[in-house]
């Protein structure tokens, strides 16, 4: 039986056809994946099915009956549930409160909190998703927060579950756990829609896969009959090189070096506990590690956002321990961040303004207190062409660009500044295959040009594919150093979890 069918769904946003005449159907008990680049219209489509957006046209059928979904309430009544990409949690509420909002156990007008807690505990036991029913949601790790979201949906009796990019925020281990849960739900007869742009995950979990590109359905394929390359081609519309080519570059002088570096996090605890390493010109050094093992604090210290408690830090032979970000940049540091919204770009500003930030006070972009917008515009136009930033109007705000194009804009700015040391912190986070490929190509070009590059990433394939040397970080320390040809994803994964540290893996 078809659990869900959409016929000719379209959605018009001002100046943008986000969904163009999309039709497909999902069998009951199936895991159906919808893949596409960022901005391909996946989330829009799900928001329509779930009643958050009103479609401009088309029909939706649930259990082979035509339905009219005009609000989320309607969707919930039809036994649909959605686990959103950004969690819909209230950090100040308890787990139980978060799960029961909207369908609360009550006596008259009063909330029956005791019964709510009992219900949540029963449910969590029944589906074996462990949560502490009385903890504050904000105190829990991301993986557990997602469990709360799933429980929320199951409690409403959802039969069709929509997962919107659920793995984007998860560590590899949490992803494995999530997939176990999804299979369990499938075994119970639930129908699952899985939205993603990570092809490897889709190939692992889905039964059938629909591919979207620029709002249009490119095709639906069986997992058995396809592979990552074909999916990537359908998504991007051209051949995509997923393999990262190896290039050999002569290693130059030390650009960055630190010794016995100690850094505190914003709560005053030591998060980096004595790290020593160096990065040479023409070399990519990869830092592998599970999120939250001190990577953020290390980067903050390296870019001058916080000052190390002790230890030394040198850039091109100059002491850089207690200097400002501006001084570091002047000395030749560039920085690509994963946090495009808060660190990378000023979203309400235009592409033009964002393209020169950091050098906006230098000639030719300004003279004294006067900005020379003609020169800035020329520069931005050039970069937009060179980096193929779409849609390509320098007067667009950075916030209106897709994630991939935002990242291209950051690359354009950072790589055009005079620099010889580049910090790339999770440079492909949240990017689709096309944009990821672009970032890889640029990083390799940088390496070829003799720049020193420090790559921090949670994606092991990325670390293994790009790095010349790999440092494994665990609880604020380097617990292993190796090279890509002497290790595997599995071996790295174990090291990242702190397994076998006592023997101290040395290569």
Partner 1 sequence: MNIAQINLTIAQMLDYTMPILFAALCGVLSENAGVVNIGLDGIMRFGAFFGLLGAFFSHSPWIGLLFGIAIGCLVGALHAFITIRWNGDQTVSGVAINVIAVGLMTYLLEFVFSTTGYSPQIQNYFGAQAYRVHLPFLAKIPLLGAFSNLSFMIWFGFICTVLMHVLLYHTVLGLRIRTCGENPKAATTLGINVFRIRWFAVVAGAALAGIGGATLSISSFSGFSDSMPNGVGFIGLAAMIFGKWTPFGALGAALLFGTGQIVQSIIAVTGIAPKLAPGLTLILPYVLTLAVLAGFVGKSIAPAADGLPYYKEQR
Total chain residues near partner 1 (CB under 8 A): 29
What is the rounded CA–CA span in Å between residue 163 and residue 150? 9
Would you say 113 or 305 has its CB closer to partner 1?
113
- Other C-beta atoms within 10 Å of 163: how many? 27
* Residue 352 binds to partner 1 (criterion: CB under 8 A): no
Report 28-47 residues binding partner 1 (CB under 8 A): 44
* Residue 106 binds to partner 1 (criterion: CB under 8 A): yes
- Smallest gap from residue 307 Cβ to partner 1 (A): 23
Q: At what angle do helices 113-126 and 142-155 cross, to 10 degrees?
A: 100
Quick note: the x/- pattern for partner 1 over 437-456, rule CB under 8 A, is --------------------
What is the rounded CA–CA span in Å between residue 489 and residue 493? 6
Among 70, 92, 184, 367, binds partner 1 (CB under 8 A): 92
Instruction: Give the pairing of strands 370-371 and 366-367.
Output: antiparallel
What is the rounded CA–CA span in Å between residue 59 and residue 191? 19
* Residue 58 binds to partner 1 (criterion: CB under 8 A): no
Would you say 53 or 179 has its CB closer to partner 1?
53
* Residue 13 binds to partner 1 (criterion: CB under 8 A): yes
Helix (H, G, I), strand (E, B) or coil at 276: strand
Residue corresponding to tokens 């309607």? 74
User: Counting beta carbons within 10 angstroms of the beta carbon of residue 424, is it exposed (0 to 12), middle (13 to 18) or buried (19 or more)?
Assistant: buried
| Selected range binding partner 1 among 48-56, 273-281, 344-352, 466-474, rule: CB under 8 A | 48-56
- Is residue 209 within 8 A of residue 31, CB to CB? The reply is no
- Smallest gap from residue 104 Cβ to partner 1 (A): 5
* Residue 398 binds to partner 1 (criterion: CB under 8 A): no
Would you say 11 or 383 has its CB closer to partner 1?
11
Among 50, 194, 277, 421, binds partner 1 (CB under 8 A): 50
* Residue 82 binds to partner 1 (criterion: CB under 8 A): yes
- Is residue 245 within 8 A of residue 444, CB to CB? The reply is yes
DSSP string computed for 303-319: TTSS--SEEEEEETTEE
Q: At what angle do helices 403-416 and 373-386 cross, to 10 degrees?
A: 120
Among 42, 84, 429, 447, binds partner 1 (CB under 8 A): 84
- Is residue 224 within 8 A of residue 203, CB to CB? The reply is no
Nearest to 182 by CA among 152, 161, 153, 164: 161
* Residue 93 binds to partner 1 (criterion: CB under 8 A): yes
* Residue 259 binds to partner 1 (criterion: CB under 8 A): no
- Smallest gap from residue 359 Cβ to partner 1 (A): 31
- Is residue 221 within 8 A of residue 208, CB to CB? The reply is yes
Would you say 194 or 474 has its CB closer to partner 1?
194
Q: How many residues can be counted in the chain? A: 507
- Smallest gap from residue 113 Cβ to partner 1 (A): 8
**b/e per residue, 314-338, with b = 16+ CB within 10 A?**
bbbeeebeebeeeebbebbbbbbbb
Quick note: the x/- pattern for partner 1 over 125-154, rule CB under 8 A, is ---------------------------x--
Report 147-206 residues binding partner 1 (CB under 8 A): 152
- Smallest gap from residue 26 Cβ to partner 1 (A): 20
Would you say 82 or 320 has its CB closer to partner 1?
82
Could you write out the three-class secondary structure of 29-72? CCEEEEEECCCCCHHHHHHHHCCCCCCCEEEEEECCEEECCCCH
* Residue 73 binds to partner 1 (criterion: CB under 8 A): yes
Backbone angles phi, psi at 77, to 5 degrees: -65, -30
- Smallest gap from residue 88 Cβ to partner 1 (A): 3
What is the rounded CA–CA span in Å between residue 284 and residue 451? 9
Would you say 147 or 329 has its CB closer to partner 1?
147
* Residue 501 binds to partner 1 (criterion: CB under 8 A): no
- Other C-beta atoms within 10 Å of 260: how many? 12
* Residue 76 binds to partner 1 (criterion: CB under 8 A): yes
What is the rounded CA–CA span in Å between residue 15 and residue 23? 22
- Smallest gap from residue 56 Cβ to partner 1 (A): 12
Among 12, 17, 61, 111, binds partner 1 (CB under 8 A): 111
* Residue 97 binds to partner 1 (criterion: CB under 8 A): yes
Would you say 107 or 370 has its CB closer to partner 1?
107
Would you say 150 or 313 has its CB closer to partner 1?
150
Would you say 13 or 395 has its CB closer to partner 1?
13
- Smallest gap from residue 428 Cβ to partner 1 (A): 22
| Selected range binding partner 1 among 1-9, 102-110, 127-135, 350-358, rule: CB under 8 A | 102-110
Backbone angles phi, psi at 75, to 5 degrees: -65, -40
The residue ranges that bind partner 1 (CB under 8 A) are: 13, 44, 50, 52-54, 71-73, 76, 82, 84, 88-93, 97, 100-104, 106, 109-111, 152
């Amino acid at each position: 039986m078809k659990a869900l069918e959409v016929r000719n769904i379209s959605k018009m946003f001002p100046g943008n056809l986000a969904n163009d005449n999309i039709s497909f159907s999902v069998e009951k008990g199936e895991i159906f994946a919808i893949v596409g680049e960022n901005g391909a219209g996946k989330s829009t489509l799900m928001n329509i099915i779930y009643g958050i957006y009103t479609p401009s046209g088309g029909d939706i059928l649930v259990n082979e009956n035509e339905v009219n979904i005009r609000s989320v309430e309607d969707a919930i009544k039809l036994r649909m549930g959605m686990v959103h990409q950004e969690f819909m949690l209230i950090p100040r509420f308890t787990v139980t409160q978060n799960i029961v909002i909207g369908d609360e156990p009550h006596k008259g007008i009063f909330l029956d909190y005791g019964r709510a807690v009992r219900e949540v505990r029963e449910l969590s036991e029944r589906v074996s998703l462990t949560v502490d029913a009385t903890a504050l949601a904000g105190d829990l790790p991301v993986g557990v927060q997602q469990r709360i979201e799933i429980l929320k949906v199951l409690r409403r009796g959802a039969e069709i579950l929509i997962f919107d990019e659920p793995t984007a925020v998860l560590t590899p281990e949490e992803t494995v756990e999530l997939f176990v849960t999804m299979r369990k739900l499938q075994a119970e007869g639930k129908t699952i829609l899985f939205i993603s742009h990570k092809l490897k995950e889709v190939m692992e979990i889905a039964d059938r896969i629909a591919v979207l590109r620029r709002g249009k359905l490119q095709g639906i394929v069986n997992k058995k009959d396809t592979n990552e390359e074909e999916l990537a081609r359908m998504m991007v519309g051209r051949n995509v090189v997923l393999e990262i080519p190896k290039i050999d570059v002569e290693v130059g002088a030390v650009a960055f070096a630190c010794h016995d570096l100690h850094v505190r996090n914003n709560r005053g605890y030591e998060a980096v506990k004595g790290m020593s390493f160096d990065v040479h010109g023409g070399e990519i050094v990869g830092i592998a590690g599970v999120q939250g093992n001190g990577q953020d604090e290390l980067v903050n210290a390296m870019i001058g956002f916080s000052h190390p408690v002790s230890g030394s830090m040198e850039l091109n032979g100059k002491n850089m321990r207690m200097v400002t970000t501006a001084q570091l940049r002047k000395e030749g540091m560039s920085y690509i961040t994963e946090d495009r919204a808060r660190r990378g770009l000023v979203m309400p500003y235009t592409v033009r303004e964002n393209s020169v930030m950091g050098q906006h006070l230098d000639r030719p972009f300004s003279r004294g207190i006067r900005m020379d917008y003609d020169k800035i515009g020329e520069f931005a136009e050039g970069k937009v062409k060179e980096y193929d930033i779409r849609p390509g109007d320098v007067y667009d705000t950075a916030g209106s660009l897709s994630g991939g194009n935002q990242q291209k804009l950051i690359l354009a700015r950072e790589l055009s500044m005079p620099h010889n040391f580049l910090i790339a912190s999770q440079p492909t986070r949240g990017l689709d295959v096309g944009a990821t490929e672009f970032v890889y190509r640029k990083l390799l070009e940088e390496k070829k040009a003799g720049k020193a590059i420090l790559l921090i990433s949670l994606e092991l394939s990325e670390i293994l594919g790009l790095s010349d040397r790999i440092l494994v970080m665990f609880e604020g320390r380097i617990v292993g150093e190796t090279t890509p040809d002497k290790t595997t994803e599995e071996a790295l994964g174990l090291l990242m979890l702190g397994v076998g540290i006592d023997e101290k893996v040395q290569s």
